[in-house]
Amino acid sequence: MSQQCVDPIVGKILAGWRYDISGLAAEMRGDYEQHLAACERCRGRQRVHRIIDVGLIALASVSAGVFLLAFGVIRHFGPRHAFWLEIAALTGFALSALIWLVVAVATPVPVTVMDAAKQGARRVHDRLPEEIRQRLPEELRIKITGT
Ligand SMILES: [Zn+2]
């Protein structure tokens, strides 16, 4: 799987952005969207980067939860040196929360997650019987289907 980029210059720019074009203005985005549609290599890399982003968020969430749990356990059992253990647990929690925040702000995870949620909602919507679909509020239907 050593595909060549169809346009290395554009590919390099995209790589610099970690293949994230969600922050670009719509009129600037067109060229890059075209490239991603045409270039299998960049499309694959884009997918990998988004998986990494979501993975990091998931990892930071789990890690924050574990540190919080540790804090609760220390509080509950009150072992010797409890104070320093509590500090360590809280520091771990704060660091995990910070990583979570940085990834959420610096990467298109919110966009990725929103897109996935929208796609899921659309799939459910398309499977609904016609009479129920008609009863959905107009606003909601527009939000789900985009039409
Ligand atoms: Zn490319």
Report the separation in Å between the CA atom of 48 and the middle of ligand 1, taken as the mean of its atom positions: 14
In a domain, 29, yes or no: no
pTM for the predicted model, two decimal places: 0.69
Handedness of CA 25, 31, 33, 39 (dihedral sign): negative
In a domain, 115, yes or no: yes
Report the separation in Å between the CA atom of 42 and the middle of ligand 1, taken as the mean of its atom positions: 4
In a domain, 133, yes or no: yes
In a domain, 146, yes or no: yes
**Domain span at residue 123?**
108-147
In a domain, 123, yes or no: yes
Report the separation in Å between the CA atom of 96 and the middle of ligand 1, taken as the mean of its atom positions: 34
pLDDT in tens, 42-56: 999 999 999 999 999
Q: What is the mean pLDDT of residues 60-77?
A: 95
The confidence score (pLDDT) of residue 147 equals: 66
For the chain, what is the domain count?
Answer: 1
With both helix axes pointing from N to C terminus, report the angle between 82-106 and 40-77 in degrees, rounded to the nearest 10.
160
Report the separation in Å between the CA atom of 101 and the middle of ligand 1, taken as the mean of its atom positions: 30
In a domain, 65, yes or no: no
Top pLDDT among 33 and 146 is at 33
In a domain, 130, yes or no: yes
